[in-house]
């Protein structure tokens, strides 16, 4: 791993690294916040944060205002990039923001040319946690959260891997990507036209398929400009009712899709995860 930068924050450390990732076949960047007193003798649990379209590892770290409470709770936070990048990594031809670089959708692509690098599901659920646990003073206790495209990624990762994560939360997630323009565009090109392949990365369909015991918390603003066309959180509610899965969806009057919304409620999510990580 190569250290890019280090900053002190609330007695802890915010660090940025690059590392050679086998899953994505390129160099990947991630950020980690280590709370005060995290050490080999006293490792801490980790909240993994997955960001949304056009974002990278820095959006959450700089805008969410999560570090102060994370420091108090004794919780590390890891934020990966949102796609592979670099020379030889393909991008969409017309420069659209919702597919290609910055828009990996946290799937393992099966279609050419994307499959050579766009293995973001394996990266965030397997390779990145393994590397983080090898190189930093953290435990194997993990929670996962995210926003928008990253909310979709967090829900899918947590629901498919209840043995890897103790809790899952999301802000304004793409809840039913098989049934929205963002999701259809990404899934069809990364995974092909076979709908059964899409179902593996559709949180609403995963929830509906069986009862899930992992704790689920979703936050959504009702003034979100993407609410009705792209996000469709009620699909999660209907799926949870179908499978008798416990899901908390909090709707908030007047809030939009921005980091102002995330910053307003991030402490609630940190405390939610801290409870399941045994920190409170």
Distance, in Å, from the CA atom of 8 to the CA atom of 53, rounded to the nearest integer, reads 28
The radius of gyration of the chain from alpha carbons, rounded to an integer in Å, stands at 17
Paired sense of beta strands 12-21 and 26-34, if any: antiparallel
> 148 an active-site residue?
yes
Is 224 one of the catalytic residues? yes
Q: Say if residue 226 is exposed, middle or buried (CB neighbours under 10 Å; 0-12, 13-18, 19+).
A: middle
From the list 117, 152, 257, 273, the catalytic residue is: 257
Structure tokens at 271: 């405390």
Q: Which of 51, 224, 269, 273 is catalytic?
A: 224
Q: Which of 148, 167, 169, 172 is catalytic?
A: 148
The answer to whether the peptide bond before residue 251 is cis (omega within 30 degrees of 0) is no
How far apart CA 73 and CA 63 sit, in angstroms, is 19
Known catalytic residue: 19? no
Residues annotated as catalytic (active site), given as ranges: 148, 224, 257
């Amino acid at each position: 791993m190569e250290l890019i930068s280090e900053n002190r924050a609330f007695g802890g450390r915010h660090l940025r690294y690059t590392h050679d990732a086998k899953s994505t076949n390129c160099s990947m960047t991630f950020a980690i916040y280590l709370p005060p007193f995290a050490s080999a003798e006293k490792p801490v649990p980790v909240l993994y944060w997955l960001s949304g379209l056009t974002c990278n590892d820095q959006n959450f770290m700089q805008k969410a205002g999560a570090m102060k409470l994370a420091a108090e709770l004794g919780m590390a936070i890891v934020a990966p990039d949102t796609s592979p990048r670099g020379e030889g990594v393909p991008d969409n031809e017309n420069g659209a923001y919702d597919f290609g670089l910055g828009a990996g959708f946290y799937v393992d692509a099966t279609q050419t040319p994307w499959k050579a690098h766009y293995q973001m599901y394996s990266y965030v659920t397997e390779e990145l946690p393994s590397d983080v646990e090898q190189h930093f003073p953290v435990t194997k206790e993990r929670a996962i959260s995210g926003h928008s495209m990253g909310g979709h990624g967090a829900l899918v990762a947590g629901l498919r891997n209840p043995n890897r994560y103790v809790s899952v939360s999301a802000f304004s997630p793409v809840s039913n990507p098989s049934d929205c323009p963002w999701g259809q565009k990404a899934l069809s090109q990364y995974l092909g036209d076979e709908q059964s392949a899409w179902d593996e990365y559709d949180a609403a369909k995963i929830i509906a398929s069986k009862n899930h015991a992992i704790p689920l918390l979703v936050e959504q603003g009702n003034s979100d400009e993407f609410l009705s066309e792209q996000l469709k959180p009620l699909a999660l509610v209907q799926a949870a009712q179908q499978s008798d899965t416990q899901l908390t969806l909090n709707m908030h009057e007047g809030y939009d899709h921005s980091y102002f919304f995330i910053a307003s409620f991030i402490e609630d999510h940190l405390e939610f995860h801290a409870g399941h990580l045994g920190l409170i």
